[in-house]
Structure 1
């Protein structure tokens, strides 16, 4: 079978390609370039990010070691349109964006996958810790990977349902330790490579520099408590997120957290941890992997990729959802992604629009 593999230059996609090659498939690597290499000369990495020039070099080394062809696909314009512009607009409106989930949808499992299929590839694979299974109730389903320390199915929950039948996740049954050992056994040069930790288009992790360079004005304003008393000053609302405690620059006898971002008044509202706990929120732009034939859905919900799934009831009204947790959850953040599960099965996702008091 002809299989295209999204090869980032990291160990996970390298092992994914290796496993498919060992199975006897005709594998071709596809390495996407979403940014100019010049960016990484102007703005050096402070932590490892994806899509850097060194990743391209590593992708070529991996392909040579495995004896497979590697294609470089430039997607700069689409990446700017769907990812960078989205990121900027969300921050302008006081939200906390999640560009990685949109990159998987529009770029990796969108344009890059389309290119591979146009080239005659029968399937498209990546190194994500996730699985695709045939479920007796839901049919072809996206599900969590074996490695329970990281849920990458969360970041794949915007992929369109009709694409699942053409996608493979060869490392979904493995742990990170098993992947690194496999890479070492195969002599792959990236078996010790660090994982990417920051946004690729902000390699120095300096959001202020990036937004300023993009012409986004970030006026300073007041930090107020729940009674409206001014207790400090913020340096631009874009640099704060719901639930944040560190870096507020205020002194208080009690620990204070960001509980709301008021873009109309340009103020940051802080309060005790208890005030970050909420039960209900509105979400929009749902993407379902299941057929929705009723107005309510009992499920588990995650509003961050690192949280424990919490039981919730979802009230469905076409493009708008009202989600109510059984128990209060901390730091429900507008702009972030809510992902709905039945155990390990991903049912769908939607973007958090607003939080009810």
Structure 2
């Protein structure tokens, strides 16, 4: 129970369905004030109090589990290291993979619980053959199956998502009807451990001397130096704002970050059309259900990939290599960066995911 409306209603529904429910709030910050202040739905003392009040209204036991050290190592440190390597991480995927459905689930099973239920918008289904599948939620605008694409078959067998069949406005109305004070609490959209939403400033402060370079050049595709920067961690592929180049491109069009080289500190910029990619490759493959054998190819109208948490679906041909995925995009995508996740779908079903290591630009 994060302290938000979704997990509160999920707990209420599980309790009403006859399950023996215990509310768990995760203390993820060694010092809650150092991560975030204000009611944003994650990580603060206020959120813990909101979760406790919701548990009291529902009538279930409530505990706080301190996973701050594990969270710092597996999520925060991973976030910093990935940015320092010139890549763009998604900390929510890492949190789901290593904290909520690994550390929490392992502890829950050891204590005799059957499953972890959360307020994520997704749907777990069991086939007639007994296989488990992860599917998109009914509410496409709130669907969170992308950030759950790192869950494996065993984790899915012990996961419940009670809100997968309900649109978000209906969830808020239900919360109000149940007397839950979080019914109108705003959703959390920012990175929970970046207090003011300024990721670049946060990385500058935290990385310090750990950064592989403390500045470098901003160049165009011809190699001409256009400006200088304080560190590659302040950039991500596809970024337009904050480049501070001082002079416009010869054609007057905006420039975008095309490439980041953390060792030399070089950031390459160019026109938007040069962001288009038609192929991505990834490692750290995770299967949401039965694993696919190397050599398997997925193709057809129903096969798509999603490359951002709130991004569009792209039709694709997916090949399973040895511990890798190779994805050819039928419709190109813009601004895709190494470090992001590629999540593979067959219709509404999540097949699996991988961490993007390489992309191929259409212009190349």
Same fold (TM over 0.5): yes
Task: Provide structure 1 residue ranges, at least 5 long, that are not aligned to the other structure.
Answer: 1-6
Partner residue in 2 for 1:246: 241
Instruction: State the shift of 1:65 in Å.
Output: 0.7
Pairing 1:321–2:315 present: no
Pairing 1:15–2:9 present: yes
CA deviation vs aligned residue, 1:227-257 (integer Å, no higher than 9, x gap)? 1111222232111111111121123211111
Partner residue in 2 for 1:296: 297
Partner residue in 2 for 1:330: 334
Q: Which moved more, 1:296-305 or 1:342-351?
A: 296-305
User: 3-state DSSP class of the match of 2:7?
Assistant: helix
CA deviation vs aligned residue, 1:243-287 (integer Å, no higher than 9, x gap)? 111121123211111111122321111111110001112210100
Partner residue in 2 for 1:345: 349
Q: Which moved more, 1:10-19 or 1:27-36?
A: 27-36
8 Å CA contact 1:49–1:198 kept in 2: the answer is: no
Partner residue in 1 for 2:220: 225
The whole-number CA distance in structure 2 between the counterparts of 1:97 and 1:208 is 13
Q: CA RMSD in A?
A: 1.8
Instruction: State the shift of 1:43 in Å.
Output: 5.9
CA deviation vs aligned residue, 1:126-173 (integer Å, no higher than 9, x gap)? 110000012468931001111111320100111121121121111111
Task: Provide structure 2 residue ranges, at least 5 long, that are not aligned to the other structure.
Answer: none
Partner residue in 2 for 1:131: 123
User: 3-state DSSP class of the match of 2:83?
Assistant: helix
Instruction: State the shift of 1:209 in Å.
Output: 4.2
- TM-score (norm. length: structure 1): 0.93
Instruction: State the shift of 1:225 in Å.
Output: 1.0
The whole-number CA distance in structure 1 between the counterparts of 2:45 and 2:182 is 15
Instruction: State the shift of 1:46 in Å.
Output: 7.6
CA deviation vs aligned residue, 1:65-97 (integer Å, no higher than 9, x gap)? 111101111112211221111111111110011
One of 47, 50, 59 as aligned partner of 1:58: 50
8 Å CA contact 1:339–1:348 kept in 2: the answer is: yes
Partner residue in 2 for 1:311: 315
Residues 333 and 167 (structure 1), Cα distance of their counterparts in 2 relative to 1, 3 Å cut: same
8 Å CA contact 2:3–2:41 kept in 1: the answer is: no
Residues 314 and 44 (structure 1), Cα distance of their counterparts in 2 relative to 1, 3 Å cut: closer
Partner residue in 2 for 1:3: none
The whole-number CA distance in structure 2 between the counterparts of 1:46 and 1:222 is 38
The whole-number CA distance in structure 2 between the counterparts of 1:339 and 1:43 is 29
User: 3-state DSSP class of the match of 1:247?
Assistant: coil
Partner residue in 2 for 1:4: none
Pairing 1:193–2:192 present: no
The whole-number CA distance in structure 2 between the counterparts of 1:114 and 1:219 is 40
- TM-score (norm. length: structure 2): 0.91
8 Å CA contact 1:20–1:27 kept in 2: the answer is: yes
Partner residue in 1 for 2:229: 234
Residues 351 and 138 (structure 1), Cα distance of their counterparts in 2 relative to 1, 3 Å cut: farther
Residues 209 and 249 (structure 1), Cα distance of their counterparts in 2 relative to 1, 3 Å cut: closer
CA deviation vs aligned residue, 1:5-33 (integer Å, no higher than 9, x gap)? xx111100000011112222221111111
The whole-number CA distance in structure 1 between the counterparts of 2:85 and 2:336 is 16
Question: Aligned residues, how many?
Answer: 349
The whole-number CA distance in structure 2 between the counterparts of 1:142 and 1:297 is 17
Partner residue in 2 for 1:34: 28
8 Å CA contact 2:41–2:186 kept in 1: the answer is: no
Q: Which moved more, 1:61-70 or 1:314-323?
A: 314-323
Pairing 1:213–2:206 present: yes
One of 142, 150, 154 as aligned partner of 2:146: 154
User: 3-state DSSP class of the match of 2:305?
Assistant: strand
Residues 209 and 331 (structure 1), Cα distance of their counterparts in 2 relative to 1, 3 Å cut: closer
Instruction: State the shift of 1:39 in Å.
Output: 4.3
Residues 213 and 264 (structure 1), Cα distance of their counterparts in 2 relative to 1, 3 Å cut: closer
The whole-number CA distance in structure 1 between the counterparts of 2:263 and 2:327 is 25
